[in-house]
Each structure stands twice: as structure tokens, then as C-alpha cells.
Chain A
Amino acid sequence: MDLLDFFLRSREAERALEQARARLYRVAYAWCHNAALADDLVQETLTKALRKSSQLRDPKARDAWLFTILANCYRDHFRKQRDMDDIDEIEISHETTPESETSSAEIVSMVRAAIARLPQGQRQVVTLVDLEGFSYVEVAQILDVPIGTIMSRLCRARNAMKDILLPAMQQNPMLNRAIRRIK
């Protein structure tokens, strides 16, 4: 029955990968704010993960392993695009600025705009910690940078977001209506 167990385990691993798709996509989208690119990155990540699934020894580490592959795919993508740029400094565009968002009181869009303003390295850290709940040690492994760098990036990212978002939220009387619309 070992052979049957082997096939069942492989099937289970494939199913786990498929279930991770939505979470990978959410983080990839938070990194690039481009649905098509995020989808491509997730597709590439899952293809690589399937190909290398034998390398995963501990199923409990599957999440961190998948996000490591995603981070590598993302890094490779920007390497191909801009050989000379430092990925940590790349900022992405967002259709609106945080300041203009306050007038329309769309909180979701406002937060996304604030995150889009962060340098790439900070954006990756803050989304991995806040969206996926990874520990600092896991984020350091996923992004392959020292844990001290993770802590300082997170700190700078949240300080920058705090400066943008909190005053805007306090000043905007329309915000509560926006919150009630969220579902």
C-alpha cells in the first residue's frame, strides 16, 4: 500500500497547491497592483512548485516555501525588465494618490494607494506580515534578507503609512459612510 500512499500524498500536495492559489494571488497583487501580472506570477509559481514538489520535505513549511518561489519569480520578473534598478527601491503606480482618495472616501483604494507608494522591499514585508501572518523569521527566509532588515523595513513602511493614512482618516467626515459600504 506504500505506492497508494505515495499517490494519495502527491494528490494531496497538488490540492494544497491549488488551494494556495488565491492567497498567492492576493499577495502578488499587493506587490504589483496589476491583476494580469499577479496572475502570471502565481501561475509561474505553481508550475515551479509542482516541478519541485519533491524538494519540499516538511509539509508544514509549504506556505513559506511557496511564497519564497513567488518572491523569486517576482524578483526575476523585474530583473528581466530593468537590469539596473534595485528592486528594493522600485515603486509601483496606482491610479490615484492617497490625498485624492480622501475626497471620495474609498478606504480600500486609499490604503492600496498608500501601499503603492512604498518602496518594493517595504511593501513586500508589510504585506507578508499583515496579509499572511508570517513571522519575521519566515519573512526573512522568504525574501532572503536578514531579520534586522525585515524589522527596519516594516517599521519604516508602517511609519510612512501612518503619516499618510491616519491624518486622512481623521480629517475625512465621509469615511464612516465608506466603511459601512464595505462588504
Chain B
Amino acid sequence: MNQEKHFSDEFLNAFVDNQIAAEEKSRAYVEIGQDEALNRQVCELRKLHDLVQLAYREPPAPPARAASGTNSRQARLRFGVAASVLLTLGIFLGSQIRMPATAPSVTAVPVPAAATQQMAKAVPPAKPARTKPAAAADATDHVATLQPTAVVPAAEPAAVPAPVIARNEIPDNTATKVLIHLARDDIDQLSQALDDIESTLKHYRETRQNARVEVVVNGKGLELVRTDTSAFAGRIQRLQREYDNLTFAACQNTIERLAREQGIIVRLLPGVITIDSGMAEIMRRQNQGWTYLQV
């Protein structure tokens, strides 16, 4: 009860929503970690946050809009005028300015050459069925599932969704199973999270514990595992090489949403697997007794 006086409901909400200063947050982490009731409250608030996101991920489609309204007419007129002006301007500028014939296309999304080479190296040529049950084979197999997304040229719109993978589960005799959820793109937080993940894995290895760690990324957290946005690509690949009990899983719903809403064709880092839905994965894992940590 004493702790509850320290942390009002408003403070706990601000803590969950990352609205308090870093120093205060780290102090609160320690105190909340030591108090089971507070810990439960924080977990419940995070669960509610996730449930709200889940509830409105796919709202019903709007009814077909009649094209005869004043607004749409105005919008069409504006668009027509703007297009005409741009066309005229383009013709004028085209006649005045000599553009270099080898100007690069701006529509293609380039994948860094190094990344493409790495991916090409990592992707085995053909793999009809998965036969290796060992955990060590997991990383290679995950790469294989990425093949459609990773190497299809950007110009093809059909390249967007990597098919949801069919994962053969490793025989589940592991004592410790931790799921870490990343849904934000804050560089400092992600860096801190990777530090924590690495130290956790190192601890398990040193203490010879049989553990599995799965990092689920969705929403803005997906940027961590995208070839074009990840600030930690090298580090993620190094971690995957060093720890075969570590998995990075990207939410397919987020990938599809990015393609649908922003036209972004997502390419994942080698070794990152896709899952049907980040939220569903979290629920499934919790149900299987995994420890859930949200960054």
C-alpha cells in the first residue's frame, strides 16, 4: 500500500505510455519491479493498450462514396488545375533544361548493395521441406522463409507480403522462455532493449540455462528489422549468429499495412521471420507460459 501512494494511477499510466522523464522512469522501474501488485497493475495497463490497438486494427470499410458531392467536385477541379499547371510547367522546363539521360529512377526503393549480397549469400537456393529439428537450424530456415520478400525487385507491387511462415516448433523443453515486444521506434529505447537482450542471452549462456528469447516487432518497432530503416542491422545479425536461441519475428499485419497505407515495400533483415500478427503471437506465447516483456 505504501508503494501505491508513491505511484498514483496517473503516474502508472504515464509510465506505461512512456510519458515520464528517463531518470524518473528508471527509478520507477526498480520500485515497480520489487512490488508484485504494482507490477501486475503495469502489466494490466499494457494489456489494455494492446487490446485497444487490436480492436481497431481493421475497422469496417467505409461505405462507397457518391462521386457527385460538392466537395469531391471541388477536389477534382483542384486536382485538374494542379495537374494542368504541372504539365505545362513540365513541358516548359523540359524544353528549357537538358536533363541527363541516365537520371536514376526515383520510384525504385534501393536495397543497399551490401545487404543484398548478404541476403543472397544467406538464402539457400531451394529448400523443399524442413527436416532439421535442431534449434541451430532455425536461423537458416527463417532466412529461407524470407526469400520472396528479400530478393524480389522493388518495382513489382506483388513483392509486398512475405507469406506467413509455417514454423515447426522446436521441441518445447526449454525452462525459460521470454518474449520481448518492441512497438516503438525510439533509437535510445531500441539500443537499450538490444543491450538488455544481449546481456540476458549472455547470462543464460553463462549459467547454462536452456532458454529461448523471441523478439516480436510490430507497429513502429518494425523499423528495427527493416533493411532501409534499421539503425542496428549489423548488431542484430551478429546477435543472431552468436545466439541460435534468439529469434526476431516481424508482424505481417504491420508489413501489409505499410504497403497499403504508405506504399512501402518492406524488406526484412536476413534471419528475421514473419508471423501472422504480432498481437496474436503475444497472446499465444503468454498462453504457452512465456514471460512477456514490453519495451
Residues of A participating in the B interface, judged by any CB pair closer than 8 Å: 3-4, 7, 10-11, 14, 19, 22-23, 25-27, 29-30, 35-36, 38-39, 42-44, 47, 50, 107-108, 111-112, 115, 126-127, 129-131, 133, 135-136, 151-152, 154-155, 158-159, 161-162, 165-166, 176, 179-180, 182-183
Contact status B48-A50, CB under 8 Å: no
B19 surroundings in chain A (CB, below 8 A): 135-136
Asked whether A108 and B280 contact (CB < 8 A) given A19-B261, A43-B71, A155-B9, the answer is no
Q: Interface residues of B toward A: which range? A: 35 or more
A155 surroundings in chain B (CB, below 8 A): 9-10, 13
Once bound together, how far apart are the Cα atoms of A112 and B253, in whole Å?
19
Asked whether A151 and B13 contact (CB < 8 A) given A23-B261, A38-B62, the answer is yes
Interface majority SS (helix, strand, loop, mixed), chain A: helix
Contact status A161-B48, CB under 8 Å: yes
Contact status B89-A107, CB under 8 Å: no
Contact status B51-A165, CB under 8 Å: yes
8 contacts between A and B (CB under 8 A): A30-B59, A35-B62, A47-B71, A108-B54, A111-B55, A126-B52, A154-B13, A161-B52
Once bound together, how far apart are the Cα atoms of A130 and B17, in whole Å?
8
B262 surroundings in chain A (CB, below 8 A): 19
Contact status B51-A111, CB under 8 Å: yes
User: Can you name 10 extra interface pairs (CB under 8 A) apart from A25-B62, A162-B45?
Assistant: A29-B59, A111-B52, A111-B55, A130-B49, A136-B14, A152-B10, A154-B13, A158-B45, A161-B52, A179-B287
B42 to chain A, nearest CB (A): 12
Contact status B44-A136, CB under 8 Å: no
A97 to chain B, nearest CB (A): 15
A29 to chain B, nearest CB (A): 4
B9 surroundings in chain A (CB, below 8 A): 155, 159
Contact status B56-A182, CB under 8 Å: no
Could you tell me which residues of chain B, from 66 to 117, have a CB within 8 Å of some CB in chain A? 71, 74-75, 78, 82, 85-86, 89, 93
Answer whether residue B160 sits at the interface, using C-beta atoms and an 8 A cutoff.
Answer: no
Once bound together, how far apart are the Cα atoms of A154 and B16, in whole Å?
12
Once bound together, how far apart are the Cα atoms of A79 and B41, in whole Å?
38
B260 surroundings in chain A (CB, below 8 A): 22
B155 surroundings in chain A (CB, below 8 A): none
Answer whether residue B238 sits at the interface, using C-beta atoms and an 8 A cutoff.
Answer: no
Q: Which residue of B lies closest to A147 (CB)?
A: B19
Could you tell me which residues of chain B, from 170 to 217, have a CB within 8 Å of some CB in chain A? 184
B261 surroundings in chain A (CB, below 8 A): 19, 22-23
Asked whether A182 and B62 contact (CB < 8 A) given A7-B89, A107-B54, the answer is no
A50 surroundings in chain B (CB, below 8 A): 75, 78
Contact status B65-A182, CB under 8 Å: no
Once bound together, how far apart are the Cα atoms of A39 and B253, in whole Å?
22
Could you tell me which residues of chain B, from 222 to 263, have a CB within 8 Å of some CB in chain A? 253, 260-263
A165 surroundings in chain B (CB, below 8 A): 48, 51
A7 surroundings in chain B (CB, below 8 A): 82, 85-86, 89
A7 to chain B, nearest CB (A): 6
Asked whether A131 and B53 contact (CB < 8 A) given A7-B85, A22-B260, A151-B13, the answer is yes
Contact status B55-A176, CB under 8 Å: no
Contact status B44-A166, CB under 8 Å: yes
B167 surroundings in chain A (CB, below 8 A): none
Answer whether residue B289 sits at the interface, using C-beta atoms and an 8 A cutoff.
Answer: no
